[in-house]
Every structure is written in structure tokens, then in C-alpha cells.
Structure 1
Amino acid sequence: MTSARTDPSRIDDEIERLATTPRLLVALDFDGTLAPLQDEPMDARMTDDARAAVLALTGAPGTTVAFVSGRSLHDLRVIGEHDDDSPILLAGSHGAEFWSPGSGAASTPDDADDGELRDRLRARAEAITADLDGVWIEPKSFGFGVHTRLATPDDAARARDAIDSIVVRDAPHWRRRTGHNIVEYAFRHEGKDTAVATLRERIGATAVLFAGDDVTDEDALRSLDGDDLGIHVGTGETAATIAVPDIAALARLLQRLAERRVAGRE
């Protein structure tokens, strides 16, 4: 049985509605939304279809594309194959870092005490998990992530419990986020809702399309208003208006949207 979120006629109606908005922001999560999840996170790259759809949208009238990710800005530029000539805006570290065409990366205040605590806790996390196969600590601009994709359930639980304990004790003010086989800890509290709000204001968007696949994307999906469109990639509970089953389906939707925005201005 087709749900309201996956009803093809509803999806078509939403595409037609967004096709005519004067200034559209297309804000897209990266991992799991445009690129398949990888055992080695830095191996992530957009699928060919997703890349083609993103390129088509960047050329559509009145349309701005942004990648909104929990990755650090540096890592997002690597996996997004993003160079200085790109028209794509970036929001990294869940909206704590930004990159814009023409001006590049926005400077981010870095408190020395926060940086020292980040480095100390990350070193502790690496030491705690050194003997746990498949557990990997990812350095991040404002904290670190604990990847457990390749770990056994028992080792993943041991890593999470041990690191939770030291963060609660030494950095109770930090934000904790969970995602697909990852727990992230950060001293900055911005979320993807913050990123979307900043990008919306920056370009004067009359409507926003946001698409994501993970728990951390729900902040942005819940922040959207009646003129916007939220898309969930995959299954499960979501605040999104519509849902598509996978990256390929999202790429087709984005390609159709680009075509309709071009046709509407001809």
C-alpha cells in the first residue's frame, strides 16, 4: 500500500509547486543522500546520477544548491569533489562552518580552551578504543566522531558506553548526536536547522528543499515551513513531507525538478 509520503502523484505535485518558486534553495545532506555509506568514510562520493542531478540544478534559473553535512568543511570539500570554482554552497559541522562562492570559507572563532579539551578527549577516545576492532575515531573541527560500522555489536556498545562516560564527566556541555553507526560529540551546538536558516537568509530563498537520510537531518526537516519541501531518503519515522527509497530515486526527483525549473523560464 502506498503511503501519503511515497504517493507518486503527491511527489509530482510538490515538484510542480517548487518549479515555480522565484528563488529556490536545494539543501542536501551528503552521506546516504547523494553518496552511498562507506566502510571508509573518506571514500564516499556522489553516484553518477546524483552528480548529474546536482549539476543540472546548479544550472537551473533561480536555484542555489548547498551541501549540508555533519562532516568538517575540509572533509566535505574532499568527498564532494568541491573546488574553488564551484557554485555549490557548503555548510559543514552541522552548520558551524560555511563556504560560499567568491568569498570561500567563513572564519570560525576557535576558543583555545575548547580546542584543548577536544584534543584531549579525542586522544582518550582513541586510547579507549585502540583494542576494539572496527571502531574508528574521526577527528572533527569541533569534536570527534566514533564510527562503529565495522565493529561487532558488543564492541560498538563498549566504545559508546566508555566514551559517553568520559564526555559526560569532562564535557557535560557538549552536544551528543547519533547517526548511522556513528556517535558524534561536539562543543558547538549548531544543528542542520541552523544551517538551513542561515542559507535561506543568505540567498533570500522563497522556498527550501531539504533532503536527508539520517537522524541528524530531522532537525532541518522539522524546521521547514509550508512553502518548503522535506524529503527523507530511506524508510523509518521522519518529519519529511515525502519519502523516496534510495539515492537513485532522489536523483531522479532532483533531475525532474531541474528540468521543470528550466522549462518554466523558457
Structure 2
Amino acid sequence: METPATHPSYTSFVAIGDSFTEGMSDVLPDGTYRGWADVLAGRLAARSPEFRYANLAVRGKLIQQIADDQVDAAAAMNADLVTLVGGLNDVLRPKCDVDEVCARLESSVARLAPSCRQLVLMRSPVRRGPVATRVQPRMDQLFDFVDDLGRRHGALVVDLYGAQVLGDSRMWADDRLHLTAEGHERVAEAVWQRLGLPAGSEWTAPLPPAVRAGWGARRGADLRFTREHLLPWIGRRLTGRSSGDGRPPKRPSLVPYAGAGTAVEAASATEG
């Protein structure tokens, strides 16, 4: 694969993964999700008139599903740039064989790396809190393996997990699982810079000091989170369902893209 130093311009981009790459919870006015991959695609498109973009990511997918449903399709597109982010949904579950997750990542990377000019992997961001603390040994194992994959397959690795600002609860939506619009903007900037492109902002800059909410406000937020997000999530786990069941990818074809909401994008969505 070529490096950013020898190939600074990207004319095509395929993103695969789960809800993080689909764009939750960076909500557009029409109720759809934008997300870091769309932001990155828009910036890349501004540098290349012939730019094309596909996003095969679907919320809720485990690494085996990403490998089965997205990897071969992405490899067949032979894009300049491919991003693969997956495995965190697996390690957040009560039971997880991290070695098996790593094996699925290994086979996916081995398939994708020769198919593109540059493959990008990520150490995913995680909201600081008790859930992250409980599964930290699993995450450390997973992300150490991602680093190793990058070294062995010539992939770039973006370390979002190590960025303190992305662990700040204010970067996360009410569901406590997905980044806000600002969080996605920062991820896009992180990938942009890792590709060797000129910095547009300091994506690791800390937020202003937080003003601690009162007990009542915190309690109300916890109750809303439990009612609107946690209990439905538990219900899906108990019944073997996923939020992504039956949901198609938002951009299944590698077609022209100039940014979410533009005329070119609307035409591309129709073609796809």
C-alpha cells in the first residue's frame, strides 16, 4: 500500500463498521445521521472533483457480521482509502472471546489491505465511566492487537482511545454509546491528520471546565437514559435482536459525493 507521503490525494473512500462509522448520533435536520466518515468524505471531495464515497457501516454489527457482510464488498471496490472500525460492540457484551474478535479482525485486514492504497484502523473512543472500567482489559487487548495489525499490514492506526477529550461525557449523546456532532468532527480531523493532510483544528484540545449539574438533574438524566436507552438495549440482547437488523447501509455504492445535503449527494443517493 502507498503511504500518505507518496499519495496525498484520495479519489475514493469506503468506510465499513458499525454505528460509529454509520454516524450515530450526529443527527442531521432530516433525522438521518452524518458522522465522521461523511465529514471526512466531504473534505476529501473538496480536494478531488472525481471523488467517490461508499459507507457500508450498519449500527449494531459485531465483527463477524462486518467481516461477512461488508469486507468483501469493500475490497471489491478497490478504493484509494478504506477505513475499518469494529470489535467494540463485541467487547462491550457480557460475554466475549477477545481472541476470536482479533482473529476476525486479522482476516478482514488481510483481505482489505491489498485491495486499497491506504487502510486505516482505529483504537475506538470510549466514554469514561463504569462500563469502560469494567471492560478495560478487553479493550486494551483489542487495541493492542489493532496496533499490531497496523504494523504488520501497513495500515495507519488512529488512536482515539488515548485522547482524553473523547472520553469526556460531553462528547457523547444521551444514549452514552455514540458521539455527538462535535465528537464526530474531531474524529474526522484525527483521521485527516493521520493521513498526512494539513491540520484544520486541534482535535485533542480539551473542552472548557465542566459545570457539575445538581443531584436532581443528574438523577433525571440517569432515569431518562435507563428508560429510553438502557432498557431497550437490554431487551434487544435478551431477544437476540439488534438495532441494525434488516437495515441497509446508507451508501452501498461507490458513487460521487460532495457532502451531505448537496445536490450531488442527493443524486448519488438516488443512483445508489
TM score, norm. by length of structure 1: 0.33
Q: Which structure has greater strand proportion? A: 1
Q: Which structure has greater helix proportion? A: 2
